[in-house]
Amino acid sequence: MTTTPTHSQQFWVTEPGRGEIVTKLIPSRAKNELVIKTLYTAISRGTETLVFNGQVPPSQYDTMRSPFQEGEFPGPVKYGYSNVGICIDAPHNMASKLLGQTIFSLYPHQDYFIIPANEVITLPQLVPPKRAILAAGMETAVNAIWDSQPNIGDTIAVIGGGVIGLLVAYLCNRIPGTAVFLIDTDPQREQIAQSLNLRFGTEPPLDLKPDLIFHASGQPSGLRVALSTAIPESTVIELSWYGDQAVTVPLGESFHSHRLTLKSSQVSNIVASRRLQWNHRKRLKLALELLQDDDLDVLISGESCFKELPQLFSDLMDTPPMQLCHRIAYPD
């Protein structure tokens, strides 16, 4: 058993546009809690950039809280929800099962922490720790599939080739008979799409007639493309979150005459049809199991050291360095 340090290093957004790593005392472990040493965290680029810039609207302060958030929006706040670590201390009755195991939890960027045992999930044997940081994104994609209920043989368009869009397209492409098209304005996404066996274009093909459209670009212009691509009676699933940004969309034109459905999907809620059989823990466990495919490593586009986090977030305000999932590595 590794000796538990007395203090931890934590990344905090101290005020909008500014973050720092602070040192804080680690509390004593309760009888049902574990001590975790972090191996990797991941930045959820869309949501965490909005948090870092202070763009969470006051009406959403409670809704947008992460499970182990400390502080309040707009800051100081400790935020994040994709953590892979090793259990270095556990109660005696749990030690044989959990001690030394690699686990995933929805915990912010921090090197050592205490967490209840029922809030962690042991990684499946075939999911390496470096890939397991995609679990939060995969859970969002699973939830989007549940919300949209794609069918065998559907033509599906996914607009926005970020992590969420790619994972949604990846899952839809595994449904028999589907034709999935990934659309992103960045032509460099084509190589990534091809590695996941996805059809790609920088704009929708003229003959595309999608039964279902997912929008995940994070840009209002992408949502406008989604609505203009929709065929009569089809559904657009909105996965982007805009924070406090006002969004203008064409609800004139053919929106009403085509009887289109614009439906939101958000990972904090499980669709009503699934709630009797599923909870958040079971859904997250499924997300981890779906990460056994080595091809998904292409979604991790870079890695930085934990100590670089303050500058890394600051850089997002100017020239974003992270194209897809950016992994944060913690020192041994």
Query: What's 81's domain CATH number?
Result: 3.90.180.10
145 is a domain residue: yes
Q: Residue 163 phi/psi, 5° resolution?
A: -60, -50
Question: Over the stretch 108-136, which tens digit does the pLDDT of each residue have?
Answer: 999 999 999 999 999 999 999 999 999 99
- What average pLDDT does range 90-119 have in this prediction? 96
In a shared domain, residues 179 and 161: yes
In a shared domain, residues 106 and 152: no
1 is a domain residue: no
Where does a domain end: 244, 272, 300? 272
Question: Over the stretch 187-215, which tens digit does the pLDDT of each residue have?
Answer: 999 999 999 999 999 999 989 999 999 99
Q: Which pair of tokens denotes residue 214?
A: 């997912």
Highest mean pLDDT among 126-135, 231-240, 259-268: 126-135
pLDDT at 323 over 80: no
CATH number at residue 173: 3.40.50.720
Which residues does residue 103 pair with via DSSP β-bridges, in sequence order? 85, 122
pLDDT at 235 over 60: yes
pLDDT band at 319 (very low <50, low <70, confident <90, very high): low
- Distance, in Å, from the CA atom of 80 to the CA atom of 33, rounded to the nearest integer, reads 20
pLDDT band at 2 (very low <50, low <70, confident <90, very high): low
In a shared domain, residues 204 and 226: yes
Which pLDDT score is estimated for 275?
Answer: 92
- What average pLDDT does range 146-157 have in this prediction? 96
In sequence order, what DSSP letters do the residues of 185-213 get, joined into one string? Answer: S-TTHHHHHHHTT-EEESS--TT---SEE
Which pLDDT score is estimated for 254?
Answer: 84
In a shared domain, residues 263 and 295: no
What pTM does this model have? 0.94
278 is a domain residue: no
Across the beta sheet with 77-78, what order do the strands follow? 18-25, 7-15, 77-78, 70-71
In a shared domain, residues 247 and 156: yes
For 11-38, letters b (16+ CB in 10 Å) and e give bbbeeeeebebeeeebeeeeeebbbbbb
pLDDT at 261 over 70: yes
Which pLDDT score is estimated for 251?
Answer: 84
pLDDT at 321 over 90: no
Which residues does residue 180 pair with via DSSP β-bridges, in sequence order? 156
In a shared domain, residues 118 and 164: no
In a shared domain, residues 142 and 128: no
- Distance, in Å, from the CA atom of 105 to the CA atom of 174, rounded to the nearest integer, reads 27
Cα 250 versus chain centre, distance:
28
Which pLDDT score is estimated for 98?
Answer: 95
Q: Which domain holds residue 48?
A: 7-134+291-329
In a shared domain, residues 209 and 307: no
Phi-psi region of 253 (alpha: psi -120 to 50; beta: other; left: phi over 0): left
In a shared domain, residues 256 and 218: yes
- What average pLDDT does range 228-239 have in this prediction? 94
In a shared domain, residues 126 and 161: no
Where does a domain end: 243, 272, 301? 272
pLDDT at 317 over 70: no
Phi-psi region of 26 (alpha: psi -120 to 50; beta: other; left: phi over 0): beta
Choose between 323 and 159: higher pLDDT: 159
- What average pLDDT does range 250-269 have in this prediction? 88
In a shared domain, residues 108 and 15: yes
Strands (DSSP E) found in the chain: 7-15, 18-25, 33-43, 70-71, 77-78, 83-89, 102-105, 112-116, 121-122, 155-159, 179-183, 199-201, 212-215, 235-238, 261-264, 300-305, 325-329
299 is a domain residue: yes
Q: What angle do CA 120, 122, 127 make, to 5 degrees?
A: 130
319 is a domain residue: yes
228 is a domain residue: yes
For 133-163, letters b (16+ CB in 10 Å) and e give bbbbbbbbbbbbbebbebeeebbbbbbbbbb
Which pLDDT score is estimated for 170?
Answer: 98
174 is a domain residue: yes
CA distances from 326 to 42, 64, 82, 195, 303 (A): 6, 21, 11, 19, 6
Question: What value does the mean pLDDT of the chain take?
Answer: 93
24 is a domain residue: yes
Instruction: Provide the number of structural domains found in the chain.
Output: 2
In a shared domain, residues 128 and 56: yes
Q: Is 78 exposed, middle or buried (0-12, 13-18, 19+ CB in 10 A)?
A: buried
pLDDT at 41 over 60: yes
